[in-house]
Chains A and B, each alone.
Chain A
Amino acid sequence: QQPVQSPQAVILREGEDAVINCSSSKALYSVHWYRQKHGEAPVFLMILLKGGEQKGHEKISASFNEKKQQSSLYLTASQLSYSGTYFCGTEEAAAGNKLTFGGGTRVLVKP
């Protein structure tokens, strides 16, 4: 069963913040975040391992709460280049490195 992402879409003005959530019904070992622009391959952003750590990439950061089986991606002071579809990929405990991706969150950053 794939993780659930919310919201499905968000429109931002440049400089605004947004949060994307990823929730799973399964016990998770890690969460991977990717951004995909139209017609391109998904691009890796970051991995979060169980332990609740927070990581950052540019002004994009994320957290992982393994007890709640949830991860959140934070877009801070958004830039036009942040536009795209964001996917979380979850790795279940004891399932190897197989990722199950959510349905994606479409982000549009306007000037």
Chain B
Amino acid sequence: GAGVSQSPRYKVTKRGQDVALRCDPISGHVSLYWYRQALGQGPEFLTYFNYEAQQDKSGLPNDRFSAERPEGSISTLTIQRTEQRDSAMYRCASSSRADQPQHFGDGTRLSIL
């Protein structure tokens, strides 16, 4: 596609449920990044991949959060046993390679009840 595509756009779930957020990067982009953005704040780094290899996961808040990109294209961010504090906008970005501009998707708005 023309841009980074994320799904779902909105996700409302009950506390304790698992959620999976999907990111489809710009075709051919090697690097893929996950961020979390609170209202009125800048994006907060979570993790990133080059091809299928997870290069840095230092921003993942705890072990309930995980991400994968098994075939070096689509990526999934999974949050297990969700908590209310996980509510946020989750954004994905991709770049053609590691030293190039990152292009953001429209995000998934996650609300935990």
Q: Assess whether B61 is interfacial by the CB under 8 Å rule.
A: no
Interface string of A87-104 (1 = CB under 8 A from B): 101000000111111111
Docked Cα-Cα span, A44 to B104, in Å, equals 8
| Chain B neighbourhood of A87, CB < 8 A | 42-43
Complex Cα gap A43–B106 (Å):
10
The reply to whether B102 and A41 form a contact with Cβ atoms under 8 Å apart is no
- Say which residue of B91, B95, B105 sits within 8 Å of A97 (CB atoms): B95
Measured as residues with beta carbon below 8 angstroms from the partner, the interface class of chain B is 20 to 34
Q: Mark each residue of chain B from 53 to 88: 1 if its CB lies under 8 Å from any CB of chain A, else 0.
A: 001101100000000000000000000000000000
Q: Of the candidates B44, B55, B104, which one forms a contact with A96 in the assembled complex, judged by CB atoms under 8 Å apart? A: B55
B41: chain A residues at CB < 8 Å are 103-104
Q: Contact at B103–A101, with CB atoms within 8 Å?
A: no
B44 lies within 8 A of A41 (CB):
no
Q: Is A62 an interface residue (CB 8 A)?
A: no
A30 CA to B98 CA, complexed, in Å: 12
Cα(A99)–Cα(B101), bound, Å: 11
> How many chain A residues touch B (Cβ–Cβ < 8 Å)?
21
A99 to chain B, nearest CB (A): 6
Residues of A within 8 A of B95 (CB): 97
Chain B min CB distance to A48 (Å)? 12
Chain B nearest CB: distance from A95 CB in Å?
Answer: 8
Query: Are A47 and B42 in contact, CB atoms less than 8 angstroms apart?
Result: no
Chain B residues within 8 Å of A, Cβ to Cβ: 31, 33, 40-45, 48, 55-56, 58-59, 91, 95, 98-107
Contacts A44-B104, A104-B40 known; 18 new A-B pairs at CB < 8 A: A2-B42, A30-B99, A41-B105, A41-B106, A41-B107, A43-B104, A44-B103, A47-B100, A97-B31, A98-B45, A98-B56, A99-B43, A99-B45, A101-B44, A101-B45, A102-B42, A103-B42, A104-B42
18 CB-based A-B contacts, threshold 8 Å: A40-B106, A41-B91, A41-B106, A41-B107, A44-B103, A47-B101, A87-B42, A87-B43, A96-B48, A96-B55, A96-B98, A99-B43, A99-B102, A100-B45, A101-B43, A101-B45, A104-B40, A104-B42
